[in-house]
Structure 1
Amino acid sequence: MQQGSTQYILTAGHCGWTGGVFKNGDATRTVGTGERKNLAHDVMLITAGASGRIWDGGGTKRYEDRAQFTKAVSGWGDTFPSEWVCQSGMTSGAQCNIRNSSNFSYSYSFAGETYTDLVLANSNGGIGARPGDSGGPVFTLNDDKVTAKGTISGSGSYYPIKISYNGKCLDADANNLNRNGTRIQLWDCNNTMQQNFVFTNDGSIRSATNEAYCLDADLGTINANGTTVQLWQCNGSVAGPIRSMYNNRCLDANLGAITTNGAKVQLWDCNNTGQQGWDPQTRVLYQDFRTASNDFGITTINQ
């Protein structure tokens, strides 16, 4: 970013404070100093040498093996409802299956601060943004370049997981929460906490009702189709999204009862069928570039 001849990096306001020193990921190099901030819009400028490029490719999340590279910025543009956008945060790397809603005045509170006038977008399958992505660029593709659209503010901390087959939600038995062996089942989506899950950087999927409990495959039957899936105290065993790393079987809904509440959720040989298709309903919150430009009088550095 630049204003006149002064160069900046645009980031999320909650990532630091004015006068604060920003360093690279392993703290071996000073990047710059926080100069100006709009708390309500969750944007801040870091005085630093900059160029007209953004990072693309992989992030730092577990199982991330895409190479990292940069793309040139061709300029910036306004956002609009139903537009498909990408984001490139530190944790997730480039994620492009994200679509704007019509809500461009979304507000949320975090750590005692309230952020307003944000764009609410939704990932169309998969995780659109994770903790650690804040401040990353939001952009659209323009041939081999990108058009700047804004900067990531947040993503929410937990999400429901819907099955593609009929839209029911993964549900923890509300009568037996906060104990090992809690039944995981399908249920009509009802926006309750037992239907929300936290996706962590170590690959585990945790219950939003109590993050000490993870989605877990019953070790006693783990080598057979029909393995029970349950909540269990997290113990460091890694679970991928949403496939068991123990034996590579997939999270599966019992097809014989899939249309009823309480349908069993189990592990089964992966077979690319509808009862094994899961869609985390994740949201992405970002501040659009026009708002940041109006706040600070900045524009992009283009190549």
Structure 2
Amino acid sequence: MRLIAQGSAVVLAVALTTLPSPASATGRTAADRVADTTLAAALHRDLGLSPTGAAIRQDRESRSVPVETALRTRLGDRFGGAWFADGLKVGVLDETGAAAVRAAGATPVRVAHTEKSLATAKSRLDGTAVPADVHAWYVDPATNSVVVEAASTAAAEGFARQAGVTARTKVSEAPRPLYDLRGGDQYVINGNTLCSVGFSVNNGGFVTAGHCGGAGSPTLGYNNVSQGTFAGSSFPDNDYAWVRTNSNWTPRPWVNNYAGGNVTVAGSQEAGVGASVCRSGRTTGWRCGTIQAKNVTVNYSGRLVYGLTSTTACAEGGDSGGAWLAGNQAQGVTSGGSGNCSTGGTTLFQPLNEILSAYGLTLTTTGGTSRIIGWQDKCIDVPNSNGVDGQRLQLWDCNGTAAQNWTFPGDGTVRAFGLCMDVAWGSRDNGAAIQLATCSGNPAQQFVLSAAGDLVNPQANKCVDVTAWGGTGTPLQQWECTGGANQKWRRG
């Protein structure tokens, strides 16, 4: 910041070119760089900016903030507003103000109204009775006017006239509150039954327990706001349902941990017997236990449900439908059980992947990519980044290239280059090649990364294995799980 003398006046100016560039900051972490990449991709998608263009624009926007602050102070009641459009623009009433703006490195624009006078006009609208068809009003510095948005031009003009304000008008849709869908939160069925949300799905809505409501039943959210309708429900035999929500609700890859935060959902790889699992529900919150048995048939007072998973975690009424997780992997939705959370009990859940398959749904996950790291701290790799059908996978030094970026979309597959990790020819034999193949829904393309670090194809119940304990360039195969280090993998 510097002082510039102009005749007998002293003008406060901040030169845009003297501020440090954000890009020159040091000590940035890998997470910072990932965030930068994500932001650049979003700016390209939504604003059409190239990575270079986005960086330049953000740098200039950042530099303009202290300039605007200084000029607002300097011009006082004669400040005509400010906005960014290929640089900082500042509204001025006369040449004196324009000179101050130019000296600060911004562009002056002659306007008729000060920011203060427009804010006064807007405050008169704030104090006027609002018709239902008037949606919003605000000061727009770029047009140096007050704007009223409404369902029609006539409605906007009438509102402005009632307040005694001259305003620009804009026809717009009515705004609405937006709410997040989150696993474990309460929802209400038919106005009187309480259950818990299972997991958000990208098809618009969430999965939950079938016994909570029948197809066509309306739901309210945790805030008693209209939420959606049961699009499908199965009970008994199964205990699952899908609620299709309205546009006020946004599916999120979150589960309420009832400690003031969320657990993120990365996929739906099924955990094994003995694995630790936790569940979320509106009555008893976040509770954990271990998996006791799978494919359990349960008799609910003469109504049989098949294929449930039994756990040592407790639950109580109202927890039904809530989310079960093993780490960040979605497991299922609460069905029923015995006991309670005071003396202990057993709780059963309906496995999630069956629900997704039954209704053709996809789980809402955190997305993103990760490496799969194993023997000798090397990565599962697509040779020469040649992502073609039938390409055998190998072990290679981790290098951060697309050849080692794997996605876990939540349907049990592991993907790269738009193809799926696959056991060649659907074989169940030791020595079968692990390869890329066109995604087909075949059981040979299902893989579970267990808590023990085994990457297992459930169809064969065998592990992804580094052939003969080799090093860089060694092809991968399917082999009986031995617990050896050449079969241990982790995401990273």
**TM-score under structure 1 length normalisation:** 0.49
Report 1 or 2 for greater relative contact order, CA contacts < 8 Å, sequence distance ≥ 6. 1
Q: Between Structure 1 and Structure 2, whose CA radius of gyration is higher?
A: 2
Q: Which has the higher strand share?
A: 1
Q: Which has the higher helix share?
A: 2
